[in-house]
Structure 1
Amino acid sequence: MSNERLPPDHETHWIEAEEEDKFDFRDQGLEDYVTLVLFWILLVVVFLQFFSRYVMGDSIAWTEEMARYFLISVGFLGSAMAVRKNSHIAVEFFYRYMPGNVGLAMSTTVDLSRILFLSIGVWITYKLADRTTAMMVSVDIPKSVIYYIVLAGFVLMLVRSIQVAIRHWREGTSELIFTEDDR
Protein backbone atom coordinates (compact mmCIF):
# COMPACT_ATOMS: atom_id res chain seq x y z
CA MET A 1 0.00 0.00 0.00
CA SER A 2 1.52 3.31 -1.00
CA ASN A 3 1.40 6.45 1.10
CA GLU A 4 -0.76 8.16 -1.57
CA ARG A 5 -3.73 5.91 -0.72
CA LEU A 6 -3.59 6.59 3.01
CA PRO A 7 -5.58 9.42 4.59
CA PRO A 8 -3.34 12.31 5.72
CA ASP A 9 -3.85 11.67 9.45
CA HIS A 10 -3.01 7.97 9.04
CA GLU A 11 0.20 8.86 7.21
CA THR A 12 1.25 11.25 9.98
CA HIS A 13 0.50 8.64 12.64
CA TRP A 14 2.61 6.09 10.76
CA ILE A 15 5.56 8.50 10.61
CA GLU A 16 5.26 9.33 14.33
CA ALA A 17 5.08 5.63 15.24
CA GLU A 18 8.22 4.96 13.20
CA GLU A 19 10.10 7.70 15.03
CA GLU A 20 9.00 6.36 18.43
CA ASP A 21 10.46 2.93 17.68
CA LYS A 22 14.05 4.20 17.51
CA PHE A 23 16.21 3.27 20.49
CA ASP A 24 18.92 5.55 21.79
CA PHE A 25 21.21 4.49 24.65
CA ARG A 26 21.50 8.10 25.80
CA ASP A 27 17.78 8.22 26.60
CA GLN A 28 18.24 5.56 29.27
CA GLY A 29 19.47 6.08 32.81
CA LEU A 30 21.88 3.94 34.79
CA GLU A 31 18.98 2.53 36.80
CA ASP A 32 17.42 1.22 33.57
CA TYR A 33 20.40 -1.00 32.85
CA VAL A 34 20.70 -2.20 36.45
CA THR A 35 16.97 -3.03 36.43
CA LEU A 36 17.34 -4.88 33.13
CA VAL A 37 20.17 -7.02 34.51
CA LEU A 38 18.19 -7.77 37.69
CA PHE A 39 15.15 -8.65 35.58
CA TRP A 40 17.15 -11.19 33.55
CA ILE A 41 18.56 -12.69 36.73
CA LEU A 42 14.98 -12.94 38.02
CA LEU A 43 13.99 -14.67 34.79
CA VAL A 44 16.78 -17.23 35.15
CA VAL A 45 15.93 -17.89 38.82
CA VAL A 46 12.22 -18.39 38.06
CA PHE A 47 13.07 -20.69 35.13
CA LEU A 48 15.40 -22.64 37.40
CA GLN A 49 12.62 -22.93 39.96
CA PHE A 50 10.14 -24.12 37.32
CA PHE A 51 12.60 -26.57 35.78
CA SER A 52 13.66 -28.07 39.11
CA ARG A 53 10.11 -28.39 40.41
CA TYR A 54 8.25 -29.67 37.35
CA VAL A 55 10.94 -31.39 35.31
CA MET A 56 13.30 -32.72 37.98
CA GLY A 57 10.54 -33.28 40.56
CA ASP A 58 12.47 -31.62 43.42
CA SER A 59 12.45 -27.85 43.87
CA ILE A 60 15.65 -25.95 44.65
CA ALA A 61 15.08 -24.38 48.06
CA TRP A 62 16.52 -20.90 47.52
CA THR A 63 14.86 -20.05 44.20
CA GLU A 64 11.47 -18.99 45.59
CA GLU A 65 12.91 -16.61 48.16
CA MET A 66 15.46 -15.14 45.78
CA ALA A 67 12.81 -14.67 43.07
CA ARG A 68 10.75 -12.69 45.57
CA TYR A 69 13.71 -10.45 46.46
CA PHE A 70 14.68 -9.91 42.82
CA LEU A 71 11.08 -8.96 42.01
CA ILE A 72 11.11 -6.40 44.85
CA SER A 73 14.40 -5.01 43.52
CA VAL A 74 13.12 -4.76 39.95
CA GLY A 75 9.95 -3.04 41.16
CA PHE A 76 11.67 -0.33 43.20
CA LEU A 77 14.57 0.33 40.84
CA GLY A 78 12.23 0.27 37.83
CA SER A 79 10.04 2.87 39.52
CA ALA A 80 12.91 5.34 39.23
CA MET A 81 12.65 4.96 35.46
CA ALA A 82 8.92 5.73 35.60
CA VAL A 83 9.58 8.83 37.73
CA ARG A 84 12.28 10.04 35.33
CA LYS A 85 9.92 9.68 32.38
CA ASN A 86 7.04 11.13 34.44
CA SER A 87 4.94 8.13 33.40
CA HIS A 88 3.36 7.10 36.68
CA ILE A 89 -0.40 6.97 36.47
CA ALA A 90 -2.26 10.22 37.03
CA VAL A 91 -5.82 11.50 36.87
CA GLU A 92 -5.69 13.81 33.86
CA PHE A 93 -9.31 14.93 34.02
CA PHE A 94 -8.61 18.05 36.10
CA TYR A 95 -5.54 19.01 34.10
CA ARG A 96 -7.48 18.82 30.87
CA TYR A 97 -10.55 20.86 31.85
CA MET A 98 -9.16 23.44 34.29
CA PRO A 99 -7.62 26.76 33.23
CA GLY A 100 -3.84 26.74 32.63
CA ASN A 101 -2.95 28.47 35.92
CA VAL A 102 -5.01 26.00 37.96
CA GLY A 103 -3.43 23.08 36.12
CA LEU A 104 0.03 24.50 36.72
CA ALA A 105 -0.73 24.96 40.44
CA MET A 106 -2.01 21.38 40.62
CA SER A 107 1.09 20.11 38.79
CA THR A 108 3.35 21.98 41.23
CA THR A 109 1.39 20.55 44.16
CA VAL A 110 1.78 17.05 42.76
CA ASP A 111 5.54 17.56 42.25
CA LEU A 112 6.01 18.84 45.82
CA SER A 113 3.81 16.08 47.29
CA ARG A 114 5.77 13.43 45.41
CA ILE A 115 9.09 14.86 46.66
CA LEU A 116 7.76 14.92 50.23
CA PHE A 117 6.42 11.36 49.99
CA LEU A 118 9.65 10.00 48.55
CA SER A 119 11.71 11.85 51.17
CA ILE A 120 9.67 10.17 53.89
CA GLY A 121 10.10 6.83 52.08
CA VAL A 122 13.88 7.32 52.03
CA TRP A 123 13.94 8.11 55.76
CA ILE A 124 11.71 5.19 56.81
CA THR A 125 13.51 2.69 54.59
CA TYR A 126 16.90 3.82 55.89
CA LYS A 127 15.75 3.37 59.49
CA LEU A 128 14.30 -0.06 58.68
CA ALA A 129 17.43 -1.22 56.84
CA ASP A 130 19.65 0.05 59.64
CA ARG A 131 17.69 -1.89 62.29
CA THR A 132 17.32 -5.17 60.38
CA THR A 133 19.70 -7.86 61.58
CA ALA A 134 17.84 -10.99 60.43
CA MET A 135 19.26 -13.30 57.80
CA MET A 136 17.43 -14.64 54.75
CA VAL A 137 15.89 -18.05 55.31
CA SER A 138 17.46 -20.07 52.50
CA VAL A 139 20.60 -18.04 51.74
CA ASP A 140 23.16 -16.77 54.24
CA ILE A 141 22.72 -13.10 53.32
CA PRO A 142 21.38 -10.37 55.64
CA LYS A 143 17.85 -9.20 54.86
CA SER A 144 19.07 -5.64 55.23
CA VAL A 145 20.60 -6.00 51.74
CA ILE A 146 17.08 -6.03 50.28
CA TYR A 147 16.10 -3.00 52.35
CA TYR A 148 19.17 -1.12 51.12
CA ILE A 149 18.21 -1.94 47.53
CA VAL A 150 14.72 -0.57 48.25
CA LEU A 151 16.41 2.47 49.81
CA ALA A 152 18.45 2.93 46.62
CA GLY A 153 15.20 2.78 44.64
CA PHE A 154 13.62 5.44 46.86
CA VAL A 155 16.72 7.65 46.58
CA LEU A 156 16.76 7.32 42.79
CA MET A 157 13.03 8.09 42.64
CA LEU A 158 13.58 11.14 44.85
CA VAL A 159 16.46 12.43 42.71
CA ARG A 160 14.50 11.84 39.49
CA SER A 161 11.42 13.47 41.02
CA ILE A 162 13.42 16.58 41.89
CA GLN A 163 14.76 16.65 38.32
CA VAL A 164 11.23 16.38 36.91
CA ALA A 165 9.96 19.13 39.23
CA ILE A 166 12.82 21.45 38.22
CA ARG A 167 12.07 20.76 34.54
CA HIS A 168 8.39 21.56 35.11
CA TRP A 169 9.22 24.79 36.96
CA ARG A 170 11.71 25.93 34.30
CA GLU A 171 9.30 25.25 31.46
CA GLY A 172 6.32 26.58 33.40
CA THR A 173 4.28 23.58 32.40
CA SER A 174 3.85 19.85 32.85
CA GLU A 175 3.33 16.96 30.46
CA LEU A 176 -0.20 16.71 31.87
CA ILE A 177 -1.14 20.32 31.06
CA PHE A 178 -2.34 20.86 27.52
CA THR A 179 -1.98 24.05 25.56
CA GLU A 180 -5.00 25.80 24.07
CA ASP A 181 -4.18 24.27 20.68
CA ASP A 182 -4.43 20.73 22.11
CA ARG A 183 -8.01 21.14 23.35
Structure 2
Amino acid sequence: MTDYKTSNKSGEAGTIVSDFHIEEDDHFSFSDYKVEDWLAFILFWLLALTVFAQFMSRYVFESPLGWTEEIARYQLICLGFLGSCIGIRNNSHIFVSLFHRWFSAKLSHNIYRVIALCNVLFLSILAYFAWQIIPLLSIHKMASLPISISVLYGVVFGSLLILIFRSVQHFIRILSTPAPDKTDDILASCD
Protein backbone atom coordinates (compact mmCIF):
# COMPACT_ATOMS: atom_id res chain seq x y z
CA MET A 1 0.00 0.00 0.00
CA THR A 2 1.43 3.33 -1.00
CA ASP A 3 0.38 6.88 -0.44
CA TYR A 4 0.58 9.76 -2.85
CA LYS A 5 3.94 10.89 -1.49
CA THR A 6 5.73 7.64 -2.27
CA SER A 7 3.92 6.64 -5.46
CA ASN A 8 5.72 9.04 -7.79
CA LYS A 9 6.70 7.72 -11.17
CA SER A 10 9.63 8.79 -13.24
CA GLY A 11 8.49 10.52 -16.39
CA GLU A 12 10.42 11.46 -19.45
CA ALA A 13 13.83 13.06 -19.02
CA GLY A 14 14.00 12.07 -15.36
CA THR A 15 11.11 14.29 -14.20
CA ILE A 16 8.92 13.05 -11.41
CA VAL A 17 5.21 12.79 -12.16
CA SER A 18 2.85 12.48 -9.22
CA ASP A 19 -0.35 10.43 -9.23
CA PHE A 20 -1.80 12.93 -6.80
CA HIS A 21 -4.33 15.15 -8.52
CA ILE A 22 -5.98 18.23 -7.08
CA GLU A 23 -9.34 19.11 -8.54
CA GLU A 24 -10.02 22.76 -9.07
CA ASP A 25 -13.02 24.21 -7.31
CA ASP A 26 -15.97 25.42 -9.30
CA HIS A 27 -16.63 29.11 -9.52
CA PHE A 28 -18.27 30.45 -6.36
CA SER A 29 -21.66 32.07 -6.75
CA PHE A 30 -24.05 33.22 -4.04
CA SER A 31 -26.99 32.14 -6.21
CA ASP A 32 -25.98 28.49 -5.76
CA TYR A 33 -27.09 28.66 -2.12
CA LYS A 34 -30.73 28.68 -1.05
CA VAL A 35 -32.52 30.04 2.01
CA GLU A 36 -32.01 26.90 4.08
CA ASP A 37 -28.27 26.98 3.35
CA TRP A 38 -27.93 30.50 4.72
CA LEU A 39 -30.14 29.80 7.73
CA ALA A 40 -28.13 26.68 8.55
CA PHE A 41 -24.87 28.60 8.09
CA ILE A 42 -25.98 31.35 10.48
CA LEU A 43 -27.37 28.88 13.01
CA PHE A 44 -24.19 26.80 12.86
CA TRP A 45 -22.06 29.80 13.79
CA LEU A 46 -24.50 30.83 16.52
CA LEU A 47 -24.17 27.30 17.89
CA ALA A 48 -20.39 27.55 17.70
CA LEU A 49 -20.46 30.85 19.61
CA THR A 50 -22.81 29.37 22.22
CA VAL A 51 -20.57 26.33 22.76
CA PHE A 52 -17.50 28.57 22.87
CA ALA A 53 -19.20 30.76 25.51
CA GLN A 54 -20.04 27.62 27.46
CA PHE A 55 -16.44 26.39 27.27
CA MET A 56 -14.97 29.76 28.26
CA SER A 57 -17.35 30.30 31.16
CA ARG A 58 -16.99 26.78 32.51
CA TYR A 59 -13.28 26.03 32.10
CA VAL A 60 -11.60 29.42 31.91
CA PHE A 61 -13.70 31.56 34.24
CA GLU A 62 -14.96 28.63 36.37
CA SER A 63 -18.41 30.16 36.51
CA PRO A 64 -20.61 28.32 34.00
CA LEU A 65 -23.45 30.07 32.23
CA GLY A 66 -26.53 27.97 32.86
CA TRP A 67 -28.37 28.90 29.69
CA THR A 68 -25.68 27.84 27.22
CA GLU A 69 -26.24 24.09 27.52
CA GLU A 70 -29.99 24.31 26.94
CA ILE A 71 -29.72 26.84 24.11
CA ALA A 72 -26.99 24.77 22.42
CA ARG A 73 -29.24 21.72 22.56
CA TYR A 74 -32.14 23.60 20.96
CA GLN A 75 -29.85 25.13 18.34
CA LEU A 76 -28.59 21.65 17.45
CA ILE A 77 -32.18 20.41 17.02
CA CYS A 78 -32.97 23.32 14.71
CA LEU A 79 -29.74 22.78 12.80
CA GLY A 80 -30.67 19.13 12.28
CA PHE A 81 -34.01 20.08 10.76
CA LEU A 82 -32.42 22.74 8.53
CA GLY A 83 -29.81 20.20 7.45
CA SER A 84 -32.63 17.85 6.48
CA CYS A 85 -33.96 20.59 4.20
CA ILE A 86 -30.61 20.70 2.42
CA GLY A 87 -30.54 16.90 2.18
CA ILE A 88 -34.03 16.77 0.63
CA ARG A 89 -33.13 19.49 -1.88
CA ASN A 90 -29.96 17.66 -2.94
CA ASN A 91 -31.66 14.24 -2.81
CA SER A 92 -28.79 13.02 -0.66
CA HIS A 93 -30.59 11.28 2.18
CA ILE A 94 -29.63 7.70 2.93
CA PHE A 95 -31.96 5.10 1.48
CA VAL A 96 -31.89 1.43 0.60
CA SER A 97 -31.57 0.72 -3.10
CA LEU A 98 -31.29 -3.05 -2.99
CA PHE A 99 -34.47 -4.35 -4.60
CA HIS A 100 -34.53 -1.96 -7.53
CA ARG A 101 -31.83 -4.04 -9.21
CA TRP A 102 -34.18 -7.00 -9.59
CA PHE A 103 -37.17 -5.03 -10.85
CA SER A 104 -37.73 -3.65 -14.29
CA ALA A 105 -36.73 -0.03 -14.88
CA LYS A 106 -40.34 1.10 -15.19
CA LEU A 107 -41.41 -0.64 -11.97
CA SER A 108 -38.42 0.75 -10.07
CA HIS A 109 -39.12 4.25 -11.31
CA ASN A 110 -42.76 3.94 -10.22
CA ILE A 111 -41.62 2.73 -6.79
CA TYR A 112 -39.46 5.85 -6.46
CA ARG A 113 -42.50 7.94 -7.37
CA VAL A 114 -44.52 6.27 -4.61
CA ILE A 115 -41.67 6.80 -2.13
CA ALA A 116 -41.48 10.49 -3.06
CA LEU A 117 -45.24 10.82 -2.54
CA CYS A 118 -44.97 9.07 0.84
CA ASN A 119 -42.23 11.52 1.84
CA VAL A 120 -44.51 14.47 1.02
CA LEU A 121 -47.40 12.93 2.96
CA PHE A 122 -45.26 12.03 5.97
CA LEU A 123 -43.72 15.51 6.19
CA SER A 124 -47.17 17.07 5.82
CA ILE A 125 -48.44 15.03 8.76
CA LEU A 126 -45.41 16.06 10.83
CA ALA A 127 -46.02 19.72 9.97
CA TYR A 128 -49.68 19.37 10.92
CA PHE A 129 -48.78 17.96 14.34
CA ALA A 130 -46.08 20.61 14.86
CA TRP A 131 -48.68 23.28 14.07
CA GLN A 132 -51.09 21.69 16.55
CA ILE A 133 -48.53 21.51 19.37
CA ILE A 134 -47.18 25.09 19.09
CA PRO A 135 -50.10 26.79 20.91
CA LEU A 136 -50.21 24.04 23.54
CA LEU A 137 -46.56 24.65 24.47
CA SER A 138 -46.78 28.44 24.53
CA ILE A 139 -47.31 28.41 28.31
CA HIS A 140 -44.15 26.37 28.94
CA LYS A 141 -40.88 28.26 29.29
CA MET A 142 -37.30 27.10 28.88
CA ALA A 143 -35.62 26.05 32.11
CA SER A 144 -32.88 28.68 31.97
CA LEU A 145 -34.41 31.56 29.98
CA PRO A 146 -37.89 33.11 29.99
CA ILE A 147 -38.52 32.06 26.38
CA SER A 148 -41.42 29.83 25.37
CA ILE A 149 -40.69 26.32 24.12
CA SER A 150 -43.09 27.06 21.27
CA VAL A 151 -40.30 29.12 19.66
CA LEU A 152 -38.35 25.89 19.14
CA TYR A 153 -41.40 24.20 17.65
CA GLY A 154 -41.96 27.25 15.46
CA VAL A 155 -38.50 26.77 13.95
CA VAL A 156 -39.19 23.05 13.54
CA PHE A 157 -42.50 23.90 11.84
CA GLY A 158 -40.77 26.36 9.52
CA SER A 159 -38.16 23.75 8.66
CA LEU A 160 -40.92 21.23 7.96
CA LEU A 161 -42.55 23.71 5.57
CA ILE A 162 -39.26 24.03 3.70
CA LEU A 163 -38.95 20.22 3.73
CA ILE A 164 -42.43 19.88 2.25
CA PHE A 165 -41.66 22.47 -0.44
CA ARG A 166 -38.42 20.71 -1.42
CA SER A 167 -40.11 17.28 -1.31
CA VAL A 168 -42.87 18.49 -3.61
CA GLN A 169 -40.21 19.84 -5.98
CA HIS A 170 -38.49 16.44 -5.93
CA PHE A 171 -41.81 14.63 -6.45
CA ILE A 172 -42.65 16.81 -9.47
CA ARG A 173 -39.16 16.21 -10.87
CA ILE A 174 -39.63 12.43 -10.55
CA LEU A 175 -43.10 12.59 -12.12
CA SER A 176 -41.82 14.57 -15.08
CA THR A 177 -38.83 12.27 -15.64
CA PRO A 178 -39.56 9.36 -17.99
CA ALA A 179 -38.56 5.89 -16.86
CA PRO A 180 -34.98 5.11 -17.91
CA ASP A 181 -34.05 2.13 -20.06
CA LYS A 182 -31.61 0.62 -17.58
CA THR A 183 -32.38 -0.13 -13.98
CA ASP A 184 -29.02 1.31 -12.84
CA ASP A 185 -29.87 4.72 -14.33
CA ILE A 186 -32.90 5.25 -12.07
CA LEU A 187 -30.98 6.85 -9.22
CA ALA A 188 -29.13 9.14 -11.62
CA SER A 189 -32.37 10.26 -13.27
CA CYS A 190 -33.92 11.27 -9.95
CA ASP A 191 -31.18 13.79 -9.18
* TM-score normalised according to structure 1 size: 0.83
1:138-172 superposed Cα distances (whole Å, 9 cap, x missing partner):
11111100000000111110110000110111123
Partner of 1:84: 89
Alignment of 1:92-111 (within 5 A): 92-111=97-116
Structure 2 residue 127 is the aligned partner of structure 1 residue 122: yes
List gaps (5 residues or longer) in structure 1: 6-10
1:139 alignment partner in structure 2: 145
The structure 1 segments of at least 4 consecutive aligned residues displaced by more than 4 Å after TM superposition are: none
Q: Do structure 1's residue 48 and structure 2's residue 48 form an aligned pair?
A: no
> Highest relative contact order (Cα 8 Å, sep 6+), 1 or 2?
1
Q: CA RMSD in A?
A: 2.6
Bigger helix fraction: 1
Moved more, 95-104 or 115-124: 95-104
CA distance in 1, matches of 2:98, 2:24: 29
The answer to whether 1:162 aligns with 2:168 is yes
**1:70 alignment counterpart:** 75
1:34-45 correspondence runs (5 A): 34-45=39-50
Contact kept, 8 Å, 1:77 with 1:152, in 2: the verdict is no
Change (3 A) 1:27 1:60: same
Matched residue of 1:57: which SS? coil
Relative to structure 1, the CA distance from residue 71 to residue 105 in structure 2 (aligned partners, 3 Å threshold; closer, same or farther) is: same
* Structure 2 unaligned spans of 5+: 1-7, 13-18
TM-aligned CA distance change 1:84 to 1:143, over 3 Å: same
Contact 1:39 1:74 in 2 (8 A): yes
Choose 1 or 2 for highest CA Rg.
Answer: 2
* AA aligned opposite 1:136: M
- Structure 2-normalised TM-score? 0.80
Q: How many residues align?
A: 169
